[in-house]
Amino acid sequence: MSKADVLQGTLDLMVLKTLDSLGPLHGYGIAQRLLQVSDSALQLNQGTLYPALLRLEQRGWIASKWGTSENNRRARFYSLTRTGRRQLQREAEDWQRMAGIMARVLGGQEDAP
């Protein structure tokens, strides 16, 4: 996968999962983490990340508050809420199922003559 635009739904899921695994993070931290786990394949457009964070917050899946960063700067930290965690679980399951279906469908195609 090259540096690609991220599907909106998948970005939401990735942000939720990131916050689930690492706990409260600021926007920079989230972007770094996604870059890291994707072996630099996911270079996030910040014009996508920040609106996504706001959207998740508006839906009540994440909460945010100002805090102090590791280098002693004011930064906004995002954390998963209880509904966010439920949402993550639901979406992750959906995604797994969908990924399984896709794998089967694509695998089946390989079998065809």
Name the residue nearer to other proteins (CB basis): 10 or 46: 46
- Least distance in Å: CB of 109 to other proteins? 37
What angle, rounded to 10 degrees, do the helices at 8-22 and 27-37 form?
100
Per-residue x/- mask for other proteins, residues 17 to 36, rule CB under 8 A?
A: ---------xxx--x-----
Per-residue x/- mask for other proteins, residues 42 to 81, rule CB under 8 A?
A: ---xxxx-xx--xx-xxxx--------x-x-xxxx-----
Per the listing, tokens 């399951």 go with 93
Task: Please name which of 6, 5, 32 lies closest in space to residue 18, comparing C-alpha atoms.
Answer: 32
